[in-house]
Structure 1
Amino acid sequence: MHPAMLSHSLLQSGLLHIGVELFCGALIGFTLGLIGGGGSILAVPLMVYAVGVPNPHVAIGTSALAVAINALIGLGQHARVGTVKWRCAGVFASCGVLGAFLGASLGKAMDGQRLLLLFALLMLGVGALMLHGRKNTGSPDANCNRRNAPKVMTYGMGAGLLSGFFGIGGGFLIVPGLMASTGMPILNAIGTSLVAVSAFGFSTALSYTVSGYVDWQLATMFIAGGALGSILGTRTARFMAGQTGRLTSLFAGVIFLVAFYMIWQGVSRL
């Protein structure tokens, strides 16, 4: 092939790859803004199967960093419209950070492919629980108090542990955890969860960074795409919140689709 044609082909290939990374980042940001979770549920398989990251641990570490920063962007959008319950966010996140560090240490010691498969199985269980309670609209006045504080702290610690172990922001665990421990509506749980998603993500990313499992260039592309996606996702969530069960069903549907795909891929690679 002529050098000029080869150079042009390589340029096109490089631009296409960047476009894929930006699109994947936008999809993650949109999901975080829309349902407060699913960022890492999508980020890890997208990095492995769409972008082509060969090492699952690098995908986990890089996605944790990208999701943490995109969660902060989404949090700003939710804070502007008053859907964040800050006291609950503080209690839940502070108790979960320690669990996230512990979980990340355990997760790095496990085979990457088996880790992805366990991750998918856990997602199926959470999705089923969300569908079961989709008609429960919750109480807009719900908040953290002395009565439910131990429950909120326990859910926070557990979500943090699983978040660190699987290398995820944890939103798909935090949202149902906040709803179960306080009785708040899903829109408030989504906005509030982004504080913990960010905290857990940074904790996990720090642990993986120390071990050299973060691709900084890829993380930058995912963050850039996620900034726009999170804005669109937050606006969509506000629109859907008035339709009973619709947002919760969507949350569960995303979990099921990605979980089945990851199980299919994981089994074929074992």
Structure 2
Amino acid sequence: MVFLIMFMIGVTTAFIGSIAGLGGGVIFVPTMLFLAQVSSEFSWATPQNIVGISLVVMVFTGLSSALAFMRRKRVDIVSGSLFLAGNLPGALLGVYLNQYIQSGLFELLLGFLMLVIVGLFFIKKYLPQRQYDENHEKKTHIHRKFLIAGYEVKYSFSVIVGVLIGFTVGMLSGLFGIGGGSLMVPAMILLFGMPAHIAAPTSMFMIFFSSLLSSTAHIVSGHIIWTYALAAIPGSYLGGVLGARVNQHLRSETIEWILRIIMTIVGIRLII
């Protein structure tokens, strides 16, 4: 029964996560923490085991989603690679810090982090909109443009800021096992002016590489229970493919609202 539950958790979290560019860890980790509290069959699920398995599962979620998005030309590989330059070393630091955090504090900090991100989304409309000016392009900035449904979108951001944000997100990802999408997608939308239909796919591209590195570190640390991880992996791959397909039919505003609702529910559940 536990194996079937793990498979279904893999499908559900990857499906929802892929739609919003989360990777699914922000749903997977709280779900596993809840099951550990209410069922003796999940008594093995410590924060370290949960984070480790979550990151292993997200390798396959990120792979399936990123490939699907790349075929549709929605992934900003240039920006994603820049973020990864800071994200990967940050992820290793997060994995190191994870071994020192206790269950109660882990849930409280993760829940608070989720609500802070939701708050940023709600104040987004009150923040001044970043305008792209081709006449004042800076050499220290990345300048990108994409064609979405016949409409050209342009955005730019500082290379240094991009790397620093990537490092911070990578550290929190390795620490909490959430893949980083729940942090990186809001950052890309709010700070860098990227449209949600580019931010979410680019996030999945990053999640594959960052989760691959973080999960390897957790494997070396002995945090992975492979019996349960292997039950969730097929479901996560399937959910990632399905979520990427659904993403194409949703408006950017809809994706952002899905992100807000999911993170509000998860954040409150972790804190109370």
TM over 0.5: yes
The match for 1:74 is 65
Find out whether 1:90 has 2:75 as its counterpart.
Answer: no
Structure 2 residue identity aligned to 1:214: I
The match for 1:43 is 28
The match for 1:268 is none
Find out whether 1:25 has 2:10 as its counterpart.
Answer: yes
The Cα shift of 1:258 comes to: 1.2
Structure number with the higher strand fraction is 2
The match for 1:226 is 236
Contact 1:22 1:221 in 2 (8 A): yes
The match for 1:173 is 183
2:46 to 52, 55, 60: 55
Q: 1:259 to 1:122 in 2, by over 3 A?
A: same
The match for 2:258 is 250
The match for 1:240 is 250
Contact 1:75 1:191 in 2 (8 A): yes
The Cα shift of 1:79 comes to: 0.7
1:119 to 110, 127, 130: 110
Cα RMSD for the two superposed structures:
2.2
Q: 1:40 to 1:94 in 2, by over 3 A?
A: same
The match for 2:39 is none
Contact 2:23 2:61 in 1 (8 A): no
1:217 to 227, 230, 240: 227
The Cα shift of 1:137 comes to: 11
More RCO (CA 8 Å, sep 6+) = 2
The match for 2:268 is 260
Residue 159 of structure 1 aligns to a residue whose secondary structure is helix
* Mapped partners of 1:134, 1:19: distance in 2: 42
Find out whether 1:198 has 2:208 as its counterpart.
Answer: yes
| TM-superposition CA deviations, 1:4-40 (whole Å, max 9, x none) | xxxxxxxxxxxx3222111100012102320110511
* Mapped partners of 1:137, 1:25: distance in 2: 37
Contact 1:42 1:258 in 2 (8 A): yes
* Mapped partners of 1:93, 1:261: distance in 2: 30
* Mapped partners of 1:182, 1:123: distance in 2: 20
Residue 214 of structure 1 aligns to a residue whose secondary structure is coil
* Mapped partners of 2:125, 2:56: distance in 1: 30
The Cα shift of 1:211 comes to: 1.6
| Superposition TM-score, scaled by structure 1 size | 0.84
Structure 1 residue identity aligned to 2:3: I
Contact 2:11 2:238 in 1 (8 A): yes
- Give 5+ residue unaligned stretches, structure 1: 1-15, 265-270
Instruction: Map 1:134-173 to 2 at 5 A.
Output: 140=146, 141-142=153-154, 148-173=158-183
The match for 2:55 is 64
Is 186-195 or 52-61 further displaced after alignment?
A: 52-61
The Cα shift of 1:226 comes to: 1.4
Structure number with the higher helix fraction is 1
* Mapped partners of 1:73, 1:143: distance in 2: 27
| TM-superposition CA deviations, 1:26-75 (whole Å, max 9, x none) | 01210232011051111112223237243121011111111122111111
Identity %: 24
* Mapped partners of 2:222, 2:98: distance in 1: 15
Structure 2 residue identity aligned to 1:260: I
Contact 2:20 2:259 in 1 (8 A): yes
Residue 188 of structure 1 aligns to a residue whose secondary structure is helix
Q: 1:201 to 1:134 in 2, by over 3 A?
A: farther
The match for 2:19 is 34
